[in-house]
Structure 1
Amino acid sequence: MTSHLKETAMSLDNTSRAARPGHDELVPSRYALRIGEIDVLVLSDGVLPLPTAMLAHNAEPAVRAAWLDDMFLPPDAFDWALNVVVVRSGGQTILIDSGLGSDPNLNLPRAGQLVMRLEAAGVDLASVTDVVITHMHMDHIGGLLVDGVKERLRQDLRIHVAAAEVEFWKSPDFSRTSMPQGFPDALRSTAKRFIKEYHGHLRTFDEEHEVAPGVVVRRTGGHTPGHSVVRLASGGEGLTFAGDAVFTVGFEQPGWYNGFEHDPEEAARVRVRLLRELAATGELLVATHLPFPSLGRVAADGDAFRWVAAFWDY
């Protein structure tokens, strides 16, 4: 991996400087790298504690429990990471997803940290020219619904999202998901509110769209009908932000169904295709729910895959 951390941090508004008073944290929450001429900053929006059954609701409980035990994870619930990416290319500043925001009804106080962590990294909301939404689950759009955020964003902000995703949330189908109580209603209401508040900023695409030089968003479907991934390519290097196409368990068990997947069979097919592509190219992968900074590569391992975490570059 070619990574020029000092140069990248400087071009990302001095992201490596000390956090402002009140923002000091003892956990790592941002990681900067460069893909060719594209600056990339991975930010943690915090963590979501969720039932482990949601990792694989089509797996035998004993098999799922054995996997969790092998991974030294608790049997009932554990913390899912929430990662967001800021990209600078061609004079544009692009936010890919926006984290959970605030939903007190779901009691998730350790998520929704994005605004604070953007500020601590020196990234001004007013500098964001574009937002890419991989899909409209609340942990990807909620940060834009936090009180006061919209007023700080540019009036000419462009929000790129697949047309199929917007259409789906007009009348969403949860019949094939397996979520904790309260989540479907929260997802439905958050998506409805997001479309209402930001409809004038939406720039929809059908299958693929170049947001900025070397920044291409592509619809995959599966997780939701309009779920999309974002590939960065510059100087012979590449990185894919996979959104929710890949979860931690998905390397060893790509056929296990996640509870948030609206079309589990198609989501599994999407996952396998994407992991095969990345194993073949050796390009970097970042995903929403892989442990922060979720930066690594994919190796093929028979019919399954192996996650190879990148060494941190200081």
Structure 2
Amino acid sequence: MGQHQTNMSLDNTSRLGTQGPDELVPSRYAVMVGEIEVLVISDGVVTPPAESMATNADPAVRGAWLDDMFLSRDAFDWALNAVVVRSGGQTILIDSGLGVEVPDFPRAGHLVHRLEAAGIDLASVTDVVLTHMHFDHVGGLLVDGVKERLRPDLRVHVSAAEAKFWEAPDFSRTGMPPALAEVARSASKRFLKAYRGQLRTFEEEQEVAPGVVVARTGGHTPGHSVVRLTSGGDRLIFAGDALFPVSFDHPEWHNGFEHDPEEATRVRLRLMRELAETGAWLVSTHLPFPSVGRVAAAGDLYRWVPAWWDY
């Protein structure tokens, strides 16, 4: 993928490589995929219950894994990453973070502020791609005043299966607490009402911009999708919620937010196999920021190999 470009500009400004005065840690990381510009943006951190990472695991085994990773057995910090892509004159936002959907997660919901800090005007976004419509992926678009700042001709790409599912969602196979299920139901309903006129649905896959293809995987949600970037022999996959930190050690563990856990396991194994065979870069919503790395085969499993930060 060539060198990481830490001062890359998505909108011909010089602000992208600068650190905001109120940011204690980096919140964006830029890379090039051939000629495609990619910026990973941290929306912050959410802190779900630890059991949500492995609802079908033996509690003792899950606890041992958390101990080995120096993580709390009660709740753990889960990164929340979104991506901005520039290709063919289009500026594409992939997912939008939490917004203000869950007050119990006050350390997330920073996407709009961090886009601004990176010099990205909401009005410059031509396309939004949603990997799926859980509240921590659509919430940023529901923040008061955001829709009014977006272009009236904005295109919002989401799989047809995803849009259909959230018209009458079924949470019976998830491990979501009732309160969070209600947040998910409410957020998706408000999103569909606000953006229905701008939806551009697809069945299996759609090329959003040159070298930018969104493809439905299912599993996590019926219409969950990943985004594949290809340019000049370089590849990157934004995996959304198909892969979690625990997936490399225990791909068989069911995440509590998965609507079809068995299919979600099959999806992540296929995706890890593809990543290992192609050498593509991986970015995923909940891998630790900046979540740029590769996947390598490790016996019957796979291992995560984070990229060396390029300063």
TM normalised by structure 1 equals 0.96
Does 2:139 align with 1:142?
yes
For 1:154 and 1:256, how far apart are their aligned partners in 2? 41
* Aligned-partner Cα distance in 2 for 1:46–1:29: 8
Structure 1 residues 192, 218: CA separation in 2 closer, same or farther (over 3 Å shift)? same
Paired letter, 1:62: A
2:27 alignment partner, one of 22, 26, 29: 29
1:245 equivalent to 2:242? Answer yes
What one-letter code is carried by the residue in structure 2 that aligns with 1:13?
Answer: T
Unaligned residue ranges in structure 1 (runs of 5+): none
Q: 1:16 to 1:312 in 2, by over 3 A?
A: same
Partner of 2:251: 254
Residue 61 of structure 1 deviates from its aligned partner by 0.3
Judge conservation of contact 1:13–1:121 (CA < 8 Å) in 2.
no
Residue 18 of structure 2: aligned partner: 18
Query: Which residue in 2 is equivalent to 1:73?
Result: 71
Matched, 1:123 2:117: no
Question: Are 2:206 and 2:214, in contact at CA under 8 Å, matched by a contact in 1?
Answer: yes
CA distance in 1, matches of 2:241, 2:110: 19
- In the alignment, which residue of structure 1 is the partner of 2:3? 3
Partners of 2:19 and 2:306 lie apart in 1 by: 26
- Residue 15 of structure 1 deviates from its aligned partner by 4.4
For the 8 Å contact 2:10–2:120, the answer to whether it is kept is no
1:54 to 49, 52, 55: 52
Q: Which residue matches 1:112?
A: 109
Matches within 5 A, 1:227-242: 227-242=224-239
Aligned equivalents of 1:308 and 1:6: distance in 2?
A: 20
Percent identity of the aligned residues? 69
In 2, the alpha carbon distance for the partners of 1:70 and 1:247 equals: 16
User: Matched residue of 2:48: which SS?
Assistant: strand
Per-residue deviation, 1:179: 1.6
What are the ranges of 5 or more consecutive residues in structure 2 without an aligned counterpart? none
Q: Give a deviation string over 1:226-266, Cα, whole Å, max 9, x none.
A: 00000000010000000000000001111100000000000
Q: Distance in 2 between matches of 1:313 and 1:10?
A: 18
Q: What is the letter of the counterpart of residue 133 of structure 1?
A: L
Alignment RMSD (CA, Å): 1.3
Partner of 1:94: 92
Q: Select which of 266, 269, 272 maps to 2:266.
A: 269
**CA deviation digits over 1:196-227, x for unaligned, max 9?**
00000000000000000000000000000000
Q: Distance in 2 between matches of 1:174 and 1:6?
A: 41
Matching of residue 160 in structure 1 with residue 165 in structure 2:
no
Contact 2:10-2:86 within 8 A present in 1 as well = no
Determine the C-alpha separation between the residues in 2 that align with 1:71 and 1:155: 46
Q: Secondary structure at the match of 1:57?
A: coil
Matching of residues 180-259 of structure 1 within 5 Å: 180-259=177-256
Q: Is the CA contact 1:12–1:123 (under 8 Å) kept in the aligned structure 2? A: no
* C-alpha deviation, 1:36, in angstroms: 0.3
Distance 1:71 1:273 in 2: 25
Report deviation, 1:303.
Answer: 1.7
Contact 2:8 2:16 (8 Å CA) reproduced? no
Q: How far apart in 1 are the matches of 2:41 and 2:304?
A: 20
| Pairing 1:311–2:308 present | yes
Contact preservation (8 Å) 2:7, 2:17: no
Within 1, Cα distance between the matches of 2:128 and 2:16?
23
1:142-198 Cα offsets, whole Å, 9 max, x none, are 000000000000000000000000000111110111123410000001000000000
Instruction: Supply the distance in 1 between the matched residues of 2:268 and 2:207 (Cα, whole angstroms).
Output: 22
Distance verdict in 2 for CA 1:52–1:205, change over 3 Å: same
